[in-house]
A and B are shown apart, each in its own frame.
Chain A
């Protein structure tokens, strides 16, 4: 399987604060890679580095065979990497269709007519055709997130970075969004997904990487990663990590309804 995206020793410091330390990872083609980690681990910073919003202080990033390190964000978009933002950033004064249109126009670099066609296509795909002429600032958050996604898709990316796309959605909306992400994946896009919700990550990702304090902590299949004692220690503290090793209770946390509570039994 070929590599869609490769990071080699990427680091980023802001003044004295080192947000990302020597991260090396690989996104294989047609893969969904989950990126998890406690708050402040550097996940969004890593996204920003890949998307070009920040310039790495060290390391290299490759899209396929081409290097994208240090290029301006718009150029990286043209090369085929699209992203969504944690706090949704749509053009509130433009209509839904226009939001998606400009994605095709400037990201996909097509002419007006082709862009308009592409926009309608994508709107259909994400199920927003009915809202196409509404002003984006006036629709609900779940729809706005979809617009953001549609806009990213209109670019025809080979790699899509989703930053907490499920945040703020109720369970029904989340199911629909998950279906959409799977459909996007089926259309041939490789994805890196940042999420806090275990259910989403477990059910969606082929592989998972865990970040903590700016470094990669663990990497592997979802089931392996959640059992990894270091990961548990990072999320819950050393105490729980030791207890977990003895009773191995993570098996029951398969992609099903998440009670949100620790299903611990007495040791």
Chain B
């Protein structure tokens, strides 16, 4: 029942929102959709394949910058700019991928973090894209259009994730995540699958970045290469349930709703909240909330404390 009701209900809710909301609430909703899509993009490489990238903001930033530059400096129209941004991110992923995907564990996480940071620093030094000042761009587009654009990107992310999970690709990813050597011993070409997920992750994040650029009309290194995005993507996915289709969506929704409330009332609590969320999730809900929602896991104090019992030393 959940299997059909959830996507349909979700789809309707998403599509109908602009009919009932406008102005600030609509922009909030757009932000939520944005984080859902970003979480899903991380999920592809981090949740499904178990390669926890902490540098996906690099793709987001590339998407934002390429779109901004093409629209503002070369006067491209929107859709071609989006396409070019996705391709640019894919190219970057293709270059970095072979280097970092060979690493495992902590090394991979920090290498991706380092790459994203380095990219952000390098962009500051490039005058053509505005250096530290960034780029201002203008596209004749309203709040509602931006919302639907973001929804389209989210839809694409969901579609990609769904297609992967349904087929043997999904199995391959799960095997890679659990035990890459054993997967290879079963005939799985791990390099192929994880690189493909890495590339798709880049494309989705870049498209989100592109829509972001068009929406906010201003990009600069600190805003679009902010490592906080990378972290947030990870946390949102973990809260919801990494490696599932709806986990990242649910996680993004929950965290962002609370976060929006906090922003409105307690400014400095934002990152503190994030930190506490992380600690709580890791200790008590290592699989996120999704198993509880699907009934795989019964909710009780005991289950929360026992969630990590196997992992204790």
Closest chain A residue to B179 by CB distance? A89
With an 8 A cutoff between CB atoms, is B188 at the interface?
yes
Contact B184 A72 (CB under 8 A): yes
Q: For residues 156 through 199 of chain B, which have their beta carbon under 8 Å from a beta carbon of chain A? A: 168, 171-172, 174-175, 178-179, 181-191
Residues of A contacting B185 in the complex (Cβ-Cβ under 8 angstroms)? 51, 53, 73, 77, 82-83, 85, 89
Contact B187 A155 (CB under 8 A): yes
A93–B187 CA distance with the chains assembled, in angstroms? 19
Q: List 14 A-B contacts (CB under 8 A).
A: A74-B186, A77-B186, A85-B185, A89-B182, A91-B175, A92-B178, A93-B178, A94-B174, A94-B178, A105-B168, A106-B175, A109-B187, A112-B168, A151-B186
A102–B170 CA distance with the chains assembled, in angstroms? 11
Given contacts A93-B178, A106-B175, 14 further A-B contacts (CB under 8 A): A74-B190, A75-B189, A77-B184, A78-B187, A89-B179, A89-B182, A90-B182, A91-B182, A101-B171, A102-B188, A103-B187, A105-B171, A106-B168, A107-B186
Closest chain B residue to A83 by CB distance? B185
A164–B187 CA distance with the chains assembled, in angstroms? 21
Residues of A contacting B188 in the complex (Cβ-Cβ under 8 angstroms)? 74, 102, 106
Residues of B contacting A103 in the complex (Cβ-Cβ under 8 angstroms)? 186-187
Q: What total of chain B residues lie within 8 Å of the partner, measured CB to CB?
A: 18
Contact A106 B186 (CB under 8 A): yes
Contact A91 B178 (CB under 8 A): yes
A89–B179 CA distance with the chains assembled, in angstroms? 8
Contact A73 B178 (CB under 8 A): no
Given that A93-B174, A94-B174, A112-B168 are known contacts, is A106 also in contact with B187, CB under 8 Å in the complex? yes
Residues of B contacting A77 in the complex (Cβ-Cβ under 8 angstroms)? 184-187
A93–B178 CA distance with the chains assembled, in angstroms? 8
Residues of B contacting A108 in the complex (Cβ-Cβ under 8 angstroms)? 187
Q: How far is the CB of A103 from chain B (nearest CB, A)?
A: 5
Contact A89 B181 (CB under 8 A): yes
A109–B172 CA distance with the chains assembled, in angstroms? 13
Closest chain B residue to A102 by CB distance? B171
Q: For residues 49 through 106 of chain A, which have their beta carbon under 8 Å from a beta carbon of chain B? A: 51, 53, 72-75, 77-78, 82-83, 85, 89-94, 98, 101-103, 105-106
Residues of A contacting B190 in the complex (Cβ-Cβ under 8 angstroms)? 74
A91–B176 CA distance with the chains assembled, in angstroms? 10
Residues of A contacting B181 in the complex (Cβ-Cβ under 8 angstroms)? 53, 73, 89
